[in-house]
Structure 1
Amino acid sequence: MPNPYREIFKVPGTKGFAAAGFIARLPIAMAPIGIVAMLSQTHGEYWLAGAVSATFALTNAFVAPQISRLVDRHGQTALLVPTSVVSVAAFLTLILAANQDWPAWTMFFSALLAATMPSIPAMVRARWSEIFRDRPELNTAFAFESVADELVYIAGASLSVGLSVALFPEAGMLASTLFLAVGIAAFVLQRSTEPRVRPFEGGRTISAIRLRPVQIITVALVFVGSIFATAEVSAVAITKELGQPGAASLVIGVYAVGSFVIGIIVGALNLKMPLQRQFAIAVAVIALTTVPLLFADTVALLAVTVFISGMAVSPTFITAFGLIERRVPEAMLTEGITWVMTGIGIGMALGAFVAGWVVDVYGPRNGFWVSVIAGTASFLTVLLGQSSLSGARSPDASAPIAQPAE
C-alpha cells in the first residue's frame, strides 16, 4: 500500500515550500511567549510582559486576515516581502528596546508593527490547494499541515523559553525573528509553487468573513481554541494543587500527542463521508471528551483524559480547512483560511482569560467547565450550520452565502 504522505511530496517543489513554511511559522508559537520571557526578565514586571505580548497577538489576529486578503488580490510574493520586512524590523526594535530599557510605549509600538507578520499556515495551505484542488491528496496535505502546526506549538514555545532562560533574556525572541526572516525568504524564493492570482468576478469584492461557511467555521473554532487554552491553564493549576507542578508540561504535551497521532492516521485515509458531517462528528467528539476532564483527580488520570480529549483536534482542523477550500471562492482562499486561524487564536486568548478567572474564583478542578461549555457551543454552531456548510463553492466573491447543493 503506497504511503500517501510520500505521494504528496513527489510533486516538484512541495518539499521546499513545506520545509520553509515550517521554519517561517515557528514565530507563531515562539513570539508571544518569547516576549513574556524576555520582558519579565529584563523589567521584572509580568503585567508589562503580558500586555505587550497581548498587543502583538491580538493585533496580529485582526491584521493577518487583511494581509491575506491582499495576498489573494496581488500574490504571495508581493505582500509577504514588505510585511515580513516590517515585522522583522519591529521585532528587532522590540528586542533592542527591552535590552536598552527604552520607554514602555516603544515596546507597545514595536509590538503593533510586528503584528504585520503574515499567516504562514494559510500561505502554505493555499499552495497545497493550488496543487491538489478537488483531489483526495489535499486531505493528506492538510493533515500534514495540522501535524506541523502541532509540532510548532510543542517545540516553539519550549524553545523560546528555554533559550531565554539558558542564554540571555532576548535569546528566544532573537531566534524567533531569525526563523521568520530566513523562513519567509526561503518561502518566497520558490515561485514555481506560488498560487496564481485569480480575478474576482461579480463586479465587487467582499471580505471572506462575510461568507456564511467562513463565519460558521471561524466561530466554531473560536470555541475549540478556548478548549486548548483551558486545558493548558487547568493542567497547570491542577498539577500544582496535587503537589506535582512539574507534571504540567507532560500533561500539556500528551494533549498534543493525541492530536498528532490521530492526525497522521486521518491524513492517510480517504473517507467518503461528506466533509461537513466529518467536521460535525469531530467537533462532537471534542465536546464529549471534555466531560471526563471534570473527574480527573490524579496526574495519571488527568494525562489519560487530556490525551483522549486531544485526539479529535487534528480531525477537526483537517475537515475545517477542507471545508474552507471547498466552500470559499478560489479568489479569496488565503483570506478564508486566515480567518479560521484567527478564530483559533482569539479562542485561545479568551479561553485562557476565562479559565484563569474560573480557577481563581472556583478552584482548579472547575476550570474544565469552560472546556465543556465551549465544546457544547462549538458543536451547536456546527450542527446549526450544516445546511450552509453543505453548499457548493460560491462562484464569485460577491455572494455572501454559499448556495445549498441540489
Structure 2
Amino acid sequence: MLTSYKRLFAVPGGWNFSLAGFILRMPISMLYIAIVLFVVAETGSYSLAGGLSMVASLVLSVATPLWSRAADQFGQNRVLAITAPVHLFFLGLFVYLVKSDAPNWSWFTSAIIFEGFVIGSGQMVRRRWIHVIGDDRKLIDTAYSFEALVDEVIYTSGPALTAITASYFFPEAAIFTAMGFVAVGALLFLTQRGTQPPAHPRQLGDDHPLLIRDRFVQALFIPMMMCGAFFGGTGLVIVAYLDEFGVREHSGFFVAIWSFSSGISAFVSGSIHWKINEARRFIISIFALALLTAPILMAAQIFTGDLTIMAMALFVNGLAIAPLLTAGFTVAERSVGPKRTTEVLAWSISALNLGGAIPTAITGYIIDTYGSTVAFVVPVACILIALLSLLPFLRLWKAKVIQL
C-alpha cells in the first residue's frame, strides 16, 4: 500500500514544496470558523457572523481563479509575493475594526479586501506535482490523493486548533494564529524556486477566455459548488448545535472527527489502482455522500442531544468526502492543457468556496430563528441539489466517462 507514496516522495523537491503548501493552506480550515467564533463572541449574532463569512467566501471564489490565472501567466512566486502581504494587512485591520466597534460596513469592506488577495495554495501545490512528475498518471493520482489527505489533516487539526485558541486564550487568537501560518508558509513556498512551473505569458492575439466559459468546466463547477454548500452548511450547523447543548468549545473536535474519516478514505484511495475512471468515480462519490448524509439528519432529528451518535454520524459521512474531491480535481486537471492547470483547479476549489458561502446567511438566520436542529435541512437540501445538477450535463458526463 505504501509503495505509491514511497515513489511519490522520491520525486526531487516534492516533500519540500508540499510541506510549505501545507503550512500556507492551514488557514483554510481555520479562518471562517475563527471569524464566526470571533464575531459571535463580540456581537452574539450568528446572522452577522454568517453574513461576513458569506461575503468573504463569495469574494474568495471569484478572486482565487483570477490570481491562479495570473500565476499560470506570470509565475506562482511572483503572484504570491504580491497577494500574501496585502491579505495579512487587511486581515489584521479586520480584527482591529471589530474590536474597536467600528461600523459594520467597515468589517465587510476589510473582509472583501483580505479575501480578494488570496491565491489558492492547494492548486499551486497540485500544479507543482504535475510539473515535477511529468506524464506518470498513476503517480499524479497518488499525488492528488496525498494532497487530499493533507487537506483532511488540515481540516482535522485546524478546527480543533481554532476552538482551543479562541476558547482558552481570547476570541481573536485563532485569527492571529491563521495569520502566522500564512506568513511562514508564504516565506517557505517562495524559497522553492526549483520546482516552480514555468510561466506561460499570454501572447498578443491569443484567445484566452476564462475557463468558466467552458461547458464542461461548468458541468463540474455546479455540483462541486453544491457540495461546498453542503460542507459549509454542515460546519456552521454543527457549531450552533453544540452551542445549544452548552459545549460550543468542542465544535472543533466534532469537525475534526468529520475530517479525520475523510483523511482515512484519502489515504486508502491514493494507494488503489482504480479500474474505473475519474468521471465515473466523481458521480458515484456524490451519490455516496448523499446516502451517508442520512445518519447526520437522523442524529439531529431522532437522537437529538446525543452527541456520541452525532460524532459517529459525522465520521461515517466523512468517508465519502476525499474520494469525491480527488476525483473532481483529477477530472478538472485532465480537461485542459498544462498551461491552464492552475486556473482550472482554482475554479474547482472556488466552486467549493462559493458553495460554502451560499448557505451561511440562510443557515445563520434559521439557527437564530428556529434553532440548529431545524437548520440541518439546509445541508441536506444542498447535497440533493448537487445530485440534480448533474442532470443538465448528463450527455457531457457520459462522454467523459468514455473518454478519460
Q: Secondary structure at the match of 1:192?
A: coil
Q: Secondary structure at the match of 2:389?
A: helix
Q: 1:359 and 1:48 mapped to 2: Cα distance? A: 12
Q: 1:55 and 1:356 mapped to 2: Cα distance? A: 13
- Which deviates more from structure 2 when the two are superposed, residues 57-66 or residues 296-305? 296-305
Q: 1:237 and 1:33 mapped to 2: Cα distance? A: 11
Match of 2:318 in 1: 310
- Highest RCO, 1 vs 2 (Cα 8 Å, sep ≥ 6): 2
- Which deviates more from structure 2 when the two are superposed, residues 296-305 or residues 274-283? 296-305
Q: 2:309 and 2:105 mapped to 1: Cα distance? A: 46
TM-score, length of structure 1 as denominator length: 0.85
Equivalent position amino acid for 1:283 in 2: I
The question of whether the paired residues in 2 share the 8 Å contact of 1:280 and 1:383 is answered with no
Match of 1:154 in 2: 156
Q: 2:317 and 2:37 mapped to 1: Cα distance? A: 29
Match of 1:345 in 2: 353
Equivalent position amino acid for 1:35 in 2: I
Equivalent position amino acid for 1:210 in 2: R
Match of 1:173 in 2: 175
Q: 1:360 and 1:103 mapped to 2: Cα distance? A: 22
Q: Secondary structure at the match of 1:184?
A: helix
Match of 2:283 in 1: 280
Deviations along 1:238-288, one digit per CA (max 9) or x if unpaired, are 566778777755543332222111111011111021211111111111122
Match of 1:267 in 2: 270
Match of 1:140 in 2: 142
The question of whether the paired residues in 2 share the 8 Å contact of 1:199 and 1:331 is answered with no
Superposed displacement of residue 118, structure 1: 1.2
Q: Secondary structure at the match of 1:62?
A: helix
- Which deviates more from structure 2 when the two are superposed, residues 271-280 or residues 346-355? 346-355
Equivalent position amino acid for 1:131 in 2: V
Task: Flag the 1:209–1:6 CA change in 2: closer, same or farther, 3 A.
Answer: same
Q: 1:187 and 1:236 mapped to 2: Cα distance? A: 33
Task: Flag the 1:246–1:185 CA change in 2: closer, same or farther, 3 A.
Answer: closer
- Which deviates more from structure 2 when the two are superposed, residues 199-208 or residues 67-76? 199-208
The question of whether the paired residues in 2 share the 8 Å contact of 1:323 and 1:389 is answered with no
Residue 206 (str. 1) matches residue 209 (str. 2): yes
Equivalent position amino acid for 2:264 in 1: V
Q: Kindly report which structure 2 residues correspond to 1:38-77, keeping only aligned pairs within 5 A, or say none.
A: 38-41=38-41, 50-77=50-77
Q: 1:338 and 1:359 mapped to 2: Cα distance? A: 31
Superposed displacement of residue 198, structure 1: 3.6
Ranges in structure 1 where 5+ consecutive residues have no aligned partner:
393-403
Match of 1:79 in 2: 79
Residue 8 (str. 1) matches residue 8 (str. 2): yes
Task: Flag the 1:54–1:186 CA change in 2: closer, same or farther, 3 A.
Answer: same
Superposed displacement of residue 235, structure 1: 3.9
Q: How many residues align?
A: 396
Task: Flag the 1:45–1:246 CA change in 2: closer, same or farther, 3 A.
Answer: closer
The question of whether the paired residues in 1 share the 8 Å contact of 2:46 and 2:365 is answered with no
Task: Flag the 1:138–1:389 CA change in 2: closer, same or farther, 3 A.
Answer: farther
Superposed displacement of residue 105, structure 1: 5.0
Q: 1:14 and 1:319 mapped to 2: Cα distance? A: 21
Equivalent position amino acid for 1:118 in 2: I
Match of 2:334 in 1: 326
- Which deviates more from structure 2 when the two are superposed, residues 8-17 or residues 170-179? 170-179
Match of 1:397 in 2: none
- Which deviates more from structure 2 when the two are superposed, residues 166-175 or residues 262-271? 166-175
Q: 1:248 and 1:102 mapped to 2: Cα distance? A: 28
Q: Secondary structure at the match of 1:223?
A: helix
Match of 2:93 in 1: 93
The question of whether the paired residues in 1 share the 8 Å contact of 2:74 and 2:200 is answered with no
Ranges in structure 2 where 5+ consecutive residues have no aligned partner:
none
Superposed displacement of residue 99, structure 1: 5.0
Match of 2:124 in 1: 123
Identical columns (%):
30
Equivalent position amino acid for 1:188 in 2: L
The question of whether the paired residues in 2 share the 8 Å contact of 1:290 and 1:368 is answered with no
Superposed displacement of residue 333, structure 1: 1.3
Residue 225 (str. 1) matches residue 216 (str. 2): no
Equivalent position amino acid for 1:279 in 2: F
